[in-house]
Structures are given as structure tokens and as C-alpha cells.
């Protein structure tokens, strides 16, 4: 009898200033590892760029970082960009972003 794998969504929060090949590779490595355990089935991935209020020196405007991430991930059939965090007027705790990412998945 086959055991049921737990569905799992990978989430990466950060400035993505800019998004790089290594950011995208991170998802592939994490998915491969989680699948190799035999316990999880990765069903999606989300990139969540921080908002403009993050305060990092040299931070490009969120709308541009979101656009760059969307372009970088346009060929992915399982990783997407959630711009909710980037649109918040204040810095957002990761746990709040995680809750909103779950809402994003339900859409």
C-alpha cells in the first residue's frame, strides 16, 4: 500500500533585489530534497518580494522587483510570484506573509 505524501508549498521571502538564478535554483533543490524524503509532495512555490518600507539600502522599487521576478519565473509551471507582501505599507512579519500566501493559493 502506497503512503500518502503530505502536500507542501515552498515560500521564499526576501528583497529579490534582483531575483537571481540561485533564487530560482533554491526552489528546485528544496523540491528535490523534500520529494527524496518520501513524505512530501511539493505542489507549488511562491516568491514573495518585500515591500518598499523594508529599508534596505539600494532597494529597487517593489513594482520593479515584482516585475523582474514574474519575468524570471514565467517559464515555471509551479513557482509563482505573490505581490501581496510587496504592496504592504509597512514591513510584514514572515508568519503574516505565510498566512496571506495560503490565501493566494486558494484563489
63 in any annotated domain: yes
Instruction: Taking residues 70-86, report their average pLDDT.
Output: 96
Specify the number of domains making up the chain. 1
pLDDT tens-digit map of 35-49: 999 999 999 999 999
71 in any annotated domain: yes
CB distance 44 to 11 below 8 Å: no
pTM confidence score:
0.89
Q: Tell me which residue has cell 529579490.
A: 16
1 in any annotated domain: no
Residue 17: pLDDT over 90: yes
CATH number for the domain that contains residue 96: 3.40.50.620
User: In the structure grid, which three cell numbers stand for residue 50, read together?
Assistant: 518585500
Amino acid at each position: 500500500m502506497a503512503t500518502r505524501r503530505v502536500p507542501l508549498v515552498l515560500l521564499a521571502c526576501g528583497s529579490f533585489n534582483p531575483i537571481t538564478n540561485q533564487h530560482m535554483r533554491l526552489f528546485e533543490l528544496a523540491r528535490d530534497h523534500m520529494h527524496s524524503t518520501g513524505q512530501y509532495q511539493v505542489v507549488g512555490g511562491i516568491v514573495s518580494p518585500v515591500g518598499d518600507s523594508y529599508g534596505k539600502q539600494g532597494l529597487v522599487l517593489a513594482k520593479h522587483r515584482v516585475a523582474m521576478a514574474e519575468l524570471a519565473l514565467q517559464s515555471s509551471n509551479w513557482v509563482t510570484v505573490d505581490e501581496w507582501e510587496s504592496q504592504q505599507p509597512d514591513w510584514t512579519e514572515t508568519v503574516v506573509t505565510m498566512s496571506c500566501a495560503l490565501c493566494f493559493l486558494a484563489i
